Chains A and B, each alone.
Chain A
Amino acid sequence: MIAPSSRPPLSPAHLPGPLGRVSGARPAASPPTPFPPAVSQASLVRLHHRFQALDRNKKGYLSRMDLQQIGALAVNPLGDRIIESFFPNGSQRVDFPGFVRVLAHFRPVEDEDTDQDPKKPEPLNSRRNKLHYAFQLYDLDRDGKISRHEMLQVLRLMVGVQVTEEQLENIADRTVQEADEDGDGAVSFLEFTKSLEKMDVEQKMSIRILK
């Protein structure tokens, strides 16, 4: 992404048009920025355009169906889990801040972020938060642990009908055993993090916006 500039973050509603005012092409609802800038201003504008393009009936929010219309997402083995991650706490709608909040997890880690003020909340794209996002994709009931049963269910989502139940159980057992350290038969977030400590999470879970 464009590195966060030193200008004060403007909301895109203030972008001037040819007459010095905003022209007719302005987005209908200017994207609010109630949280600390998790993405740069230019990217915010881009994402807002995208949000509006996905919101087919101009409702002002996205529903699960809007996301399911994206072909490349619908064929993704984890597509359903990713769509669910936009709707925490059983809600049926995701507004623009919620949309950006999820996408902010994938912002590449910039060097400036490392000397953070310790009092500020951890940025959404920190390694820990990226791992937490991935952890959530497995943790179906959000209890902080990935049980063997949940692992099985997610695996089933990913392979459809292509793999037998027995093979899938073997895979699930092996995976949970390898990561489980305290022997409770489930993978906690700490164990998850530990088993992936050598993985270059920052690079694998980052999307760089070019404009």
Chain B
Amino acid sequence: MEGAELAGKILSTWLTLVLGFILLPSVFGVSLGISEIYMKILVKTLEWATIRIEKGAPKESTLKNSASVGIIQRDESPMEKGLSGLRGRDFELSDVFYFSKKGLEAIVEDEVTQRFSSEELVSWNLLTRTNVNFHYISLRLTMVWVLGVIVRYCVLLPLRVTLAFIGISLLVIGTTLVGQLPDSSLKNWLSELVHLTCCRICVRALSGTIHYHNKQHRPQKGGICVANHTSPIDVLILTTDGCYAMVGQVHGGLMGIIQRAMVKACPHVWFERSEMKDRHLVTKRLKEHIADKKKLPILIFPEGTCINNTSVMMFKKGSFEIGGTIHPVAIKYNPQFGDAFWNSSKYNMVSYLLRMMTSWAIVCDVWYMPPMTREDGEDAVQFANRVKSAIATQGGLTELPWDGGLKRAKVKDTFKEEQQKNYSKMIAGNGSLN
């Protein structure tokens, strides 16, 4: 029985430690500084690793210092210049050169498809999963890598899984309990407390280090919060600093349980799958929600799908037709410590979460931006683009006009017609044919 006693003692010490150092401070929103120390050590280690790699790299392959520059040399001249630079020219056999070159360039590298896979790192961060281009350098580096694997899988992973488990259970139990109370300001305060605590625990479950900027612009009640979308963790990151009403589809399984529990404590907007198709219904419900100034701000991701955090794609205009004040938020992850992008075609939710929990940390910056409203004479699409530009500029992301839906569907024919129109104007529009 000694073995069982020992195991029991270890478990209880472990749990007490976890409780004391992580859970309690989460309730009060206080940090004990453990994660800061961890981050400092991590940064030093990665810097050391980078220097070793640079020293060890063979002379021919010098480190490319901008992973975001394309892999092919592009000549971005517009169609007119690229074709032959003469105005009012007619069709030439050589036109095919320009188009075939542009076409093949797109096949080798296009700005959209690359956004649906993880960003490549400039220098290796000691994770096997990002080791795409890097060669064996030295024994010491390999030893550090092995040490990293041990630390991540044997020390951090169990801790994080425990925390995640505790966090989610607390959320479900807490919100159900709070939901029993009658509607009052006490209930709201308690539900906020429960939400915030559980989110903080979950963020610590990912070793998340989040910097919030411009907290004075935090979204207010009765507004709509709009942000760029990289992964489901975005929600966690935002709700750690404030409470939002979420919008989304009702899921089954664990997500469904969480959703049903949460809606008891404070009014989120969950739609059945069939209701999602009816845009008027969706808009109506959202309008009702923001009309009630006591309700929490809605959180929406207008891109509609996860992008890899190097760019911002087209914002769907639906969220911008509801009216009300838009509070843009820009979220930028630091890929050096862990890749937060969810490639849903490659990983399902569970393997994604496992990958998150075996990364070094999730480090990100959140910028709250001043509220925006639709101006007179501006339609929803232009407004959406304006907000998108603001978010892209703030977060240092590139802006793309393409639809994130290209992940799964083909491009609309209207875009092709535009190109055809341009070309037709050149070869036939001037009317000087023989």
Contacts and interface: CB of A to CB of B under 8 A. Distances in A.
B107 A76 contact: no
Interface string B391-433: 0000000000010001000110001111111011101100001
Contact of B117 (A17, A20, A53, A161): A53
24 contacts: A20-B136, A50-B107, A53-B113, A69-B406, A69-B410, A72-B102, A73-B107, A82-B104, A106-B101, A134-B97, A137-B96, A155-B91, A160-B420, A160-B424, A162-B417, A162-B428, A170-B433, A171-B428, A179-B93, A192-B93, A204-B101, A207-B72, A207-B105, A208-B73
B110 A159 contact: no
Contact of B100 (A67, A71, A78, A155): A78
Q: Interface size class for chain B? A: 35 or more
Contacts of A50: 107-109
Contacts of B71: 46, 209-211
Contacts of B72: 207-210
Nearest to A134: B96
Interface of A: 5, 15-20, 23-25, 42, 46-47, 49-50, 53-54, 56, 67-79, 82, 102-103, 106, 133-134, 137-138, 155, 158-163, 167-168, 170-171, 174-175, 179, 187, 192, 195-196, 199, 201, 204-211
A17 B417 contact: no
Interface stretch (B2-10, B126-134, B178-186, B362-370): B126-134
| Most chain A CB atoms below 10 A, which of B97, B406, B418, B425 | B97
Contacts of A162: 417, 420-421, 424-425, 428
Contact of B70 (A106, A134, A210): A210
B216 interface: no
B142 interface: yes
A11 to B, nearest CB: 15
Contacts of A196: 93-94
A122 to B, nearest CB: 19
Contact of B104 (A20, A25, A106): A106
Contacts of B70: 210
Contacts of A155: 91
B415 A163 contact: no
B93 to A, nearest CB: 6
Contact of A77 (B99, B101, B434): B99
B34 to A, nearest CB: 29
Contact of A170 (B64, B418, B434): B434
Contact of B345 (A49, A56, A67, A73): A56
A81 B299 CA distance: 44
A70 B76 CA distance: 18
B135 interface: yes
Given A17-B136, A78-B96, A174-B434, A73 B106 contact: yes
A100 to B, nearest CB: 11
Contacts of B101: 106, 204-207
Contacts of B113: 53-54, 69-70
Contact of A76 (B69, B135, B419): B419
A163 B421 CA distance: 9
Nearest to A157: B420
B415 A71 contact: yes
B98 interface: yes
A116 to B, nearest CB: 24
A68 B131 contact: no
Contact of A17 (B103, B131, B421): B131
Contacts of A201: 97
B345 to A, nearest CB: 7
B13 interface: no
A165 to B, nearest CB: 11
Contacts of B117: 53
B252 to A, nearest CB: 25
B135 A16 contact: yes
B305 to A, nearest CB: 14
Contact of B128 (A24, A76, A167): A24
Contacts of B97: 134, 199, 201, 204-205
B112 interface: yes
B129 A25 contact: yes
A19 B423 CA distance: 54
B407 to A, nearest CB: 9
B145 interface: yes
Interface in B44-100: 60-61, 64, 69-73, 90-100
Contacts of B161: none
A102 B347 CA distance: 32
Given A72-B105, A75-B416, A170-B434, 7 more contacts: A18-B136, A24-B129, A25-B130, A106-B104, A196-B93, A207-B108, A209-B108
A111 to B, nearest CB: 18
Nearest to B427: A171
B141 interface: yes
B405 to A, nearest CB: 10
A104 B128 CA distance: 32
Contacts of A195: 93
B60 A5 contact: yes
Nearest to B418: A75
Contacts of B402: 71
